[in-house]
Structure 1
């Protein structure tokens, strides 16, 4: 029989957690920046800004995404669009070249580097622009997006502007887990915290990261996070540590992404950096799942309607804030009580000593 103290804690914690998350959501609904079309500006000024920008895409076996993403990137008017072909086996280089991008052949991966970081490091070395825009191959751009990004960069005064694209989930398999990413951001990170100079008050999303070159260089760039699987967050911290500013925004109608195309792919993708998200601590990782279960799944078995409704409300608000309000997007909310169970394979893979991604194996810290 559980000790009364632990029973009391198990009863109170879910209410406290959901209360804090809903409060953060309400704050972010009002304050979290959204990417919007840039206001009218003289053409010569806008052309000057875009001419300073290098769009840089690391790509490893991304032919299935390039048809959807690369044409939108090439139409933005940037000084250059460089694609680093990281030893693809699916015709990525040929397709990117046929669509009009400049393709760089990737060099062999040196010891101690994660694949994406090495690819981005090579891209930064080849880029000519004063502004470096790193973008993943699965990100889809609408006309005028680069203008909007440059306007947001100037308006925020940031040295690093990172965007969280709107998720474009299609199949139910990919809808099971990926919406959790939006929840972690919007219910876990109050927007005003980003204005604090401390490097710990930082976040970023490697899918879209726009750097001023001087800030990128001062932070150490991807070379400074060469072995990191959570390189985007670590880069944002290094930018702040070197005196720069970091800003975030939601992609809104301008930037979307289809991250994964099945439940197994979601499990592999989300697990690769989860342990690092918890600072390499396996006990903390396990504790987070236990709290996850107590808050969202246990109420289903104990008929705790209040907690269940708050969990559903949280999921609905996240989708409203991100603009994912189509009927199928909203139906995802009904999966909320099952999310801890659906996420079990993610946690199990994250606990392993090695994780695999895109045909490469990375050893994780086993000290904790």
Structure 2
């Protein structure tokens, strides 16, 4: 096990060094015709009255680049449509699109973004969420980097704000596990494998988006952002993943209970809707990331030494994840076994609820597991 974690640590160390930080990227703006390029920013909002106005205003404040904002109201029951409509009246660059009903065969967010594209006139699309805050130079720098790299798609990881200790722990542990499950740095390799897409920031060339089938090709994928990025790689386009912790921020979930509910839609999707794979994931976390801490106290001396080495390697991996993908204190590494148990609870809860319900509840609609599996298989084969 120690050799396994040592290999993963080397992979992490090399991999994370290949993910540029937006704050350190200095594209040659003089060679980028920012003022002649229109970027259509498309966001889908459902019951986002708390955050959507701040998000739209931060997008309108983007400097050195021309944007239009396609703000799609996805069947909201709060004040979201009123806010978006008012913003469209006050700002000529904001187009308001209202969706009162969800057609069969679509997930709500995917359908909303698909409809938003129909109103877009830009040469590039930026898909983002309705609760992201952008620094003024975020989009210009990211677009400049896309042009400089001759890329078709740039996706950026934001700062995931969280107020509670346990929520930060769950988020950081999720990112830790996501690292060795998906190896996000493969997005920056020149091949057709891997790929990455992050809902907070998916900047994509129009021709690329159309070639991979757009959101219609992933109309029933709850992991739409990730699948969009993976399709970019599978179809041979050039992709770049960056971190933008100083330029993009979002309160991913307001509380731990909200996070547990939110993970319900993605937990099974991330495991390919496979019960055996889910059981392997749960047992793997318990054996590899909880058991060493138990064995450290109850085992013979030789086993304690091995467990201590494994724990040290795990701490190094966790610290590398925290430093690379979050703004959290490195002290959170000390909570690793507790966060691992919390993650196991979250995953087990999500799987049981998905199985009992026969599907997932998302954005006010229920989708059957049978239908989700079918569309998952279809999109993977495409």
TM-score (norm 1): 0.87
Aligned pairs for 1:1-368 within 5 A: 12=1, 15-36=2-23, 38-39=26-27, 41-42=29-30, 45-49=33-37, 52-76=38-62, 77-99=65-87, 100=91, 101-188=94-181, 189=183, 191-192=185-186, 194-198=188-192, 200-303=193-296, 304-322=307-325, 324-325=327-328, 329-343=329-343, 344-351=345-352, 352=355, 353-365=358-370
> Which digits, 9 at most, give the CA deviation of each residue in 1:295-340, with x for residues without a partner?
2211222113332232222222212223525xxx333322211223
Match of 2:301 in 1: none
3-state SS of 2:263 partner:
helix
- Secondary structure of the equivalent of 2:43? strand
| Contact 1:38–1:147, Cα closer than 8 Å, also in 2 | no
Q: How far does the alpha carbon of each residue in 1:263-289 deviate from its partner, in whole angstroms, 9 at most, with x for none?
A: 111112223122222222110111011
1:156-180: CA deviations, max 9, x gaps? 2221211111212222343231223
Relative to structure 1, the CA distance from residue 324 to residue 17 in structure 2 (aligned partners, 3 Å threshold; closer, same or farther) is farther
2:245–2:327 CA contact under 8 A, matched in 1: no
Separation in 1 of the partners of 2:276 and 2:333? 29
Q: Pick closer, same or farther for the CA change 1:169–1:348 going to 2, 3 Å.
A: same
Structure 1 residues 345 and 71: CA distance shift in structure 2, 3 A: same
Q: Does the 8 Å CA contact 2:172/2:326 hold for their aligned counterparts?
A: no
Question: Which residue does 1:6 correspond to in 2?
Answer: none
Q: Contact 2:22–2:242 at 8 Å: present in 1 too?
A: yes
Cα distance change on mapping 1:103 and 1:172 into 2, 3 Å: farther
Secondary structure of 1:248's match?
strand
Q: Give the superposed CA RMSD.
A: 2.4
In 2: Cα distance, 1:32 partner to 1:41 partner = 21
What TM-score comes out, normalization by structure 2 length? 0.84
Displacement after TM superposition at 1:136 (Å): 0.6
**What does the per-residue CA deviation read over 1:74-109, in whole Å, with 9 as the maximum and x for residues that have no partner?**
111533111100111120122234444432101411
Q: How many residues align?
A: 349
Q: CA deviation at 1:249?
A: 1.0
Unmatched 5+ stretches in structure 2: 297-306, 378-382
